[in-house]
Amino acid sequence: MYKVVPFLGQLVGSQSVEAVSKQLNDVITKHESEGWEFVQLAQTSIQVKPGCIQGLFGAKTSYETFDQIVFKK
């Protein structure tokens, strides 16, 4: 059994990248305490299509990449 959790690190003000590392560690630790084993941090590309009105005004399909944390039991 696998579980995939979205991850988006956030920096506020003058925080360093270590703050994002701590956020990632906190998410992994939380799920491991629930019995899940960390497998990997994976990137997922998502196709975002414009809605009808946006399409009429020339909006194009865009692509975004997100991090996903993969766990297994």
Residue-by-residue pLDDT tens, the chain, 73 positions? 999 999 999 999 999 999 999 999 999 999 999 999 999 999 999 998 888 787 778 888 899 999 999 999 9
Query: pLDDT value at position 49?
Result: 86
Query: pLDDT value at position 51?
Result: 84
Structural element, H or E, at residue 72: strand 62-72
pTM of the full structure = 0.78
d(C-alpha 24, C-alpha 55), whole Å: 36
d(C-alpha 38, C-alpha 58), whole Å: 42
Query: pLDDT value at position 18?
Result: 94
Enumerate the domain spans of the chain. Answer: 2-72
